[in-house]
Structure 1
């Protein structure tokens, strides 16, 4: 082996697994293992040191380490660490350069870096390794902006007077500091490095399952803002009845495609595209709203332009906080086939205020509205297509009061959606009836439907007649001639069609049999008015 080979192997990516082999993971040599362990340990210590730097500086100052003698001792310590680090890198490079498996991996990586072809991609896909070295296969920066669908945006803060702005300036500074230090990681704990370390083994097993069992293909996508997205695509076109429909999965605040919701539509026979939020798994960046928007936009463009799916054959499926990305995508890609939101809220502010002390409520409100305004309902109501909400009946996260299903924020999402789409149906009395309906579980909801004599065929017929005669675009003006009884029946029918209950807690995986495409009013060309 040459010194140049050792040098390259010192800084090359860590090989994790060779797919299709009997052993679970790549087994490094003693030299490589020792070098990796020391480097990883020093990296963790460095990160912990950064987070605790104010305390460390205080201790060093108290111990007189900022005197000439103290600085000399510190320099010796830093030099010793540097020597250990150099030896560790050399040990790692030596071990890798003498391992045939690793040398084959490096050869495949070099070939795909020089030219991405179906053959070189197939060769490198046989390996699982550190994602930073994965080749970029779809780069939005190379596509002209004119090809990009124009996106909409909402201004979260209304204009205030100068006096109000001056009064709120300290709160706004505190809110900005909080969000940009620890706040975004509290909202999206999946971006915490320590969580990635704890889940590393599970994430590897998840990727292995998708690649080896489902024949999934991993891709790296580069967004407009320069983030790299870690994605997994499983193609079931021409092999399953539902395979021509692509389900794009948006994970929760601690969800990764490797161990998240992607398995549900996959087992239901759909082609599936999973992706990790910015800062999650192999994805770079942090999950601020602007980066989330660019991420899901890149995923949609990738599905259309690279994978070759038509927009009308795509379904967006989201869990929990993933409803923000999903609703934004639906708002900006209005021709998608449908949107399925599982355990999702209408607005993150009530949930955030519910978890924080009242004394810091002004700071929390500003932090959310100005920096992390996850306004799911505001975006979802702009979408014209079919929507299905799945509510967890014993959800301990989305409910403001534990055990009280009426406080589930998914209820508010449904109310805002239905009121926006059917304004003449949902008057004051119908909204009260809807609240009563939403405070109950499935069996008691069915009892209310029977009590009010809701006839599904009759309601569908009325909707089909209106759509055939007027328009399918929301808001529908149907209901102006209805009496209270007719409005009540239609309101309950619409709630029943848009919401399904799942008896579970927040984090229980959704069973494949519960994954259903959203209901919509279908009118055949030969439909006869009733």
Structure 2
């Protein structure tokens, strides 16, 4: 049982300490051997070691190592059996499983142990509302297939090798490249940092760790910080955080809303295959995990769906956009350093000769189509663009190749098609080309944008009722008016942050998205 600074965790006896270290190293070596096995097998084959005369001594050696490791595991068990602190922990764990009361869970959260033994806190089967319970079991559909000749047997035979190769790529290095945080070696290297982050959330913020079970059977590791107070509005808004492809709630974007002066309650969760969560982070598993997290927030934690804000960083934009698409009553969404579609970014890092294979693999197995999902949401949206982002750009040091630009343009073109004509797109692109606040202000003032006039025009379009997007505002307007509205909306929907992709977002940069207030000539 590993000890974390400041947490009351079981102490390690001498036998347990050394045997645990040996087993840890053995596990790390096994993981390293597993990931390097293709290269290792090729090397052994070329050297002539893969033959019956050489394999027999190797098998004997492997057998001896396994016997030794079994003995080490027995010694560790004996050390734990004689450890009074460990026995006390087992009694608390057993008591919590039998009686999962708040007081027992409070005792249990002081210990770090294999999350598979953590008592179940919530399951998707507990949901009685059919509207909410159907969201998680809906399948994410791949790209539609062509009709006619494309469905012929001959075509199926021709494309079979491509399907097989795509499947192998997606389920081997493809998934690990897309979600490096799911690789065991990386998690093992980050373990001390993750334990310290978890200890901070529990001790400093009184975080509550919970295990949720999604509709696919995956166990989802979550952390909830409750800041609600009787008779006060503080903490009544819940921010659900969606981490990046190597992010964990222990050290990820959850810290941004937590540092916002106590305004928000915060719920973080780990992707399937990350930290204590089980499974693998394929899109359907990700959607199922997001679904059970939202249901947990509503049915167990007691938040109204209209009081939930979804906040995501980077690849977390997929589950965030899925959430607001599936639960349109959600209050708002904030996407930080996110992209519109995975395919252009995948093509950037793979050889050009692989283009058809990459397209097929992404669309079939890793179709992270954030923009397509976001367009189905009618609520407030805020996009945060990193002006020095080096990850979601398709060109080196080219701010115009940032895929966040495409996400903004697609959103504006869908919601305001009469404003975002060719001329509107041109001025927004000019504004997006600004790499610092001075250039941004220069473009904005150059077109003499009148904010009050823009608000008045938008308010007049919906005087007393909610009008669903897309809006027809701007169809009877001259070019100057459309340009002003295009720039005004671009600046309201997107904020620039002068930093790189992986820099943590300061609390000062975390804002609620703007919404049009029909009663006041202002944006909230």
Tell me the TM-score normalised to structure 1 length: 0.91
**Does the C-alpha gap of structure 1 residues 262 and 54 become closer, same or farther in structure 2, counting only changes over 3 Å?**
closer
Residues 206-228 of structure 1, C-alpha deviations (whole Å, 9 max, x = no match): 00111001111111111100111
- In the alignment, is the contact (CA less than 8 A) between 1:377 and 1:416 conserved in 2? yes
Q: 1:136 aligns with which of 73, 97, 120?
A: 120
Q: 2:321 aligns with which of 327, 343, 346?
A: 327
Partner of 2:98: 114
Q: 1:274 aligns with which of 263, 268, 281?
A: 268
- CA distance in 2 between partners of 1:47 and 1:194 (Å): 7
Matched, 1:484 2:484: no
Residues 355-394 of structure 1, C-alpha deviations (whole Å, 9 max, x = no match): 1110111111111011000000000010010000000000
- CA distance in 2 between partners of 1:408 and 1:74 (Å): 52
Partner of 1:495: 490
Partner of 1:317: 311
Matched, 1:464 2:455: no
Gaps of 5+ in 1: 1-13
- In the alignment, is the contact (CA less than 8 A) between 2:212 and 2:219 conserved in 1? yes
Q: 2:109 aligns with which of 109, 125, 130?
A: 125
Partner SS state of residue 433, structure 1: helix
Q: 1:429 aligns with which of 423, 429, 434?
A: 423
- CA distance in 2 between partners of 1:43 and 1:514 (Å): 41
- CA distance in 1 between partners of 2:126 and 2:265 (Å): 27
- In the alignment, is the contact (CA less than 8 A) between 1:15 and 1:127 conserved in 2? no
Partner of 2:301: 307
Matched, 1:81 2:65: yes
Residues 15-74 of structure 1, C-alpha deviations (whole Å, 9 max, x = no match): 5448555xxx7541110012212222332333334344456667389346535x953x44
Partner of 1:102: 86
- CA distance in 1 between partners of 2:101 and 2:162 (Å): 53
Matched, 1:509 2:504: yes
Partner of 1:90: 74
Partner of 1:412: 406
Partner of 1:369: 363
**Does the C-alpha gap of structure 1 residues 153 and 468 become closer, same or farther in structure 2, counting only changes over 3 Å?**
farther
Partner of 1:158: 145
Partner of 1:9: none
- In the alignment, is the contact (CA less than 8 A) between 1:232 and 1:257 conserved in 2? yes
- CA distance in 2 between partners of 1:356 and 1:197 (Å): 28
Gaps of 5+ in 2: none
Matched, 1:349 2:340: no
- In the alignment, is the contact (CA less than 8 A) between 2:431 and 2:444 conserved in 1? no
Partner of 1:169: 160
- CA distance in 2 between partners of 1:445 and 1:188 (Å): 34
- In the alignment, is the contact (CA less than 8 A) between 1:16 and 1:129 conserved in 2? no
Deviation, structure 1 residue 154: 4.1
- CA distance in 2 between partners of 1:514 and 1:153 (Å): 33
**Does the C-alpha gap of structure 1 residues 64 and 342 become closer, same or farther in structure 2, counting only changes over 3 Å?**
closer
- CA distance in 2 between partners of 1:27 and 1:171 (Å): 53
Alignment of 1:230-241 (within 5 A): 230-238=221-229
- CA distance in 1 between partners of 2:204 and 2:266 (Å): 14
- CA distance in 2 between partners of 1:228 and 1:66 (Å): 43
Deviation, structure 1 residue 135: 1.1
Deviation, structure 1 residue 520: 0.9
**Does the C-alpha gap of structure 1 residues 19 and 308 become closer, same or farther in structure 2, counting only changes over 3 Å?**
farther
- CA distance in 2 between partners of 1:449 and 1:420 (Å): 22
- In the alignment, is the contact (CA less than 8 A) between 2:389 and 2:500 conserved in 1? yes
- CA distance in 2 between partners of 1:388 and 1:82 (Å): 54
Partner of 2:280: 286
- CA distance in 2 between partners of 1:18 and 1:488 (Å): 57
Partner SS state of residue 128, structure 1: coil
- In the alignment, is the contact (CA less than 8 A) between 1:18 and 1:128 conserved in 2? no
- In the alignment, is the contact (CA less than 8 A) between 2:226 and 2:265 conserved in 1? yes
Tell me the TM-score normalised to structure 2 length: 0.92
Partner of 1:454: 449
Deviation, structure 1 residue 100: 2.0
Partner of 1:440: 434
Matched, 1:254 2:246: yes
Deviation, structure 1 residue 78: 3.8
Deviation, structure 1 residue 96: 1.3
Partner of 1:8: none
Q: 1:179 aligns with which of 170, 192, 200?
A: 170
- CA distance in 2 between partners of 1:432 and 1:70 (Å): 67
Partner SS state of residue 393, structure 2: coil
- CA distance in 2 between partners of 1:424 and 1:252 (Å): 35
- In the alignment, is the contact (CA less than 8 A) between 2:243 and 2:252 conserved in 1? yes
Partner of 1:263: 255
- CA distance in 1 between partners of 2:377 and 2:139 (Å): 12
- In the alignment, is the contact (CA less than 8 A) between 2:143 and 2:363 conserved in 1? yes
